[in-house]
């Protein structure tokens, strides 16, 4: 769907990304002419359509956006949603966040606690009421074999963890995530290496977020593969990030190593069966109608495979087999030509479609580049993903 198909005459400008000839990713846009502190209802609607259409957008010039208005905008994107961050309040996040909460510091902004301060390093004497914080960010410690210290200090790094922003238990994934750059590290490009025997690598300014399109991934599948995933679905573990809190990633940050470190169901403690999430393997974009292979393989506990509605599904419960299936599909998009790291300036806010993209942080050596300060907010959706074929009510 082209930008011309949006609601006519928005008050802001949408510019598609100009990319080098060797880049093949098919998403992304810049948005100019907005003040998100005073955005109208019509422009909120148009901005939603723009995100669904372009999947990842950079809204320029939002240095004056207050945290309160940031959260208000997120709620206006989905006014029927429960008014809390998709991962719950901070107490819930710290208790049940597992691998998400144990590896980094996350703080709520006073007065707008659903806007989360994330980043790395010293955040200043007073950051919106948060005093003298020196925070740890996501790091390559999530990898089973991280880069050695010498290489890392020289700017050799990895994709940290490819994922979507989704609780995968109790609440549905946020439609969009919003990430405002308050302070960015500065210095020479870092080099992201795959270190998986492929020899692949790419360079990028420090402190950026990487994206690939799962709609573009779907297009890379064969006709037979599309038929299979169109009719298949997954079941996520209860409290999935606790389930995998001791697990580690391969060098690409995609998926998990098979080391048998998952918690047992007994170790997870109490959970509610009705809060366990089952989602189709393919999610349909509500504006463009595009299909995306959108499975967060980190948390999948059961995989149901079939190629037609009349076929009895094959139920796969072995996590090694599940991860092998996911890797065979998802690894084909994990190439430099399909990955975009939007270059932002301080004050810009990146917004992305969680139903058609994956993203990853990229670590950098703090001492060489300086602190990173970001405000992140999203809200668990009022309506979860829809696939091309309904999931049977009894699985």
Contact (Cβ atoms closer than 8 angstroms) between residue 172 and residue 385:
yes
**Distance (Å, whole) CA 333 – CA 91:** 36
* Domains identified in the chain, total number: 1
Whole-model pTM: value is 0.94
Q: What is the CATH number of the domain that holds 303?
A: 3.60.130.10
* Interval 377-384 mean pLDDT: 96
Position 99 confidence tier, pLDDT thresholds 50, 70, 90: low
Q: How far is CA 138 from the centre of its chain?
A: 14
Would the pLDDT of 4 be above 50?
Answer: no
Helix axes 67-77, 41-54, angle to 10 degrees: 70
What is the residue whose two structure tokens read 């990146």?
350
Quote the percentage of the chain above a pLDDT of 70. Answer: 93
| pLDDT tens, residue by residue, 43-77 | 999 999 999 999 999 999 999 999 999 999 999 99
Domain range holding 383?
1-395
């Amino acid at each position: 769907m082209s930008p011309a198909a949006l609601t006519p005459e928005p008050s802001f400008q949408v510019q598609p990304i100009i990319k080098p000839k060797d880049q093949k990713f098919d998403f992304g846009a810049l948005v100019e002419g907005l003040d998100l502190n005073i955005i109208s209802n019509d422009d909120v609607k148009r901005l939603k359509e723009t995100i669904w259409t372009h999947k990842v957008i950079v809204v320029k010039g939002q240095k004056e956006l207050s945290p309160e208005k940031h959260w208000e905008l997120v709620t206006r994107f989905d006014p029927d949603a429960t008014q809390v961050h998709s991962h719950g309040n901070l107490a819930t996040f710290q208790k049940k966040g597992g691998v998400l909460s144990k590896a980094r510091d996350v703080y709520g902004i006073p007065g707008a606690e659903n806007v989360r301060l994330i980043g790395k390093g010293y955040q200043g004497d007073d950051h919106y009421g948060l005093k003298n914080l020196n925070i740890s960010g996501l790091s390559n410690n999530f990898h089973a074999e991280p880069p050695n210290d010498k290489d890392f200090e020289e700017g050799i790094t990895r994709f940290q963890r490819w994922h979507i922003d989704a609780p995968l238990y109790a609440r549905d994934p946020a439609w969009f995530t919003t990430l405002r750059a308050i302070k960015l590290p500065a210095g020479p490009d870092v080099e992201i290496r795959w270190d998986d025997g492929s020899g692949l690598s790419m360079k990028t300014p420090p402190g950026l977020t990487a994206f690939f399109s799962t709609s573009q991934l779907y297009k890379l599948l064969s006709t037979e593969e599309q038929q299979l995933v169109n009719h298949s679905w997954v079941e996520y573990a209860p409290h999935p990030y606790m389930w995998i809190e001791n697990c580690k990633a391969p060098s690409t940050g995609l998926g998990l190593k098979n080391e048998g470190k998952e918690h047992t169901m007994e170790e997870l403690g109490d959970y509610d069966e009705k809060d366990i999430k089952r989602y189709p393997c393919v999610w349909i974009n509500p504006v463009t109608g595009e299909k995306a292979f959108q499975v967060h393989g980190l948390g999948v506990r059961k995989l149901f495979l079939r190629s037609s509605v009349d076929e009895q599904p094959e139920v796969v419960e072995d996590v090694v087999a599940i991860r092998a299936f996911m890797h065979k599909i998802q690894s084909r998009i994990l190439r430099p030509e399909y990955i975009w790291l939007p270059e932002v300036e301080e004050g810009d806010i990146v917004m992305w479609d969680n139903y058609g993209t994956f993203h990853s942080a990229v670590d950098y050596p703090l001492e060489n580049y300086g602190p990173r300060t970001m405000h992140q907010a999203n809200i668990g959706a009022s309506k979860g993903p829809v696939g091309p074929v309904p999931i049977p009510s009894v699985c």
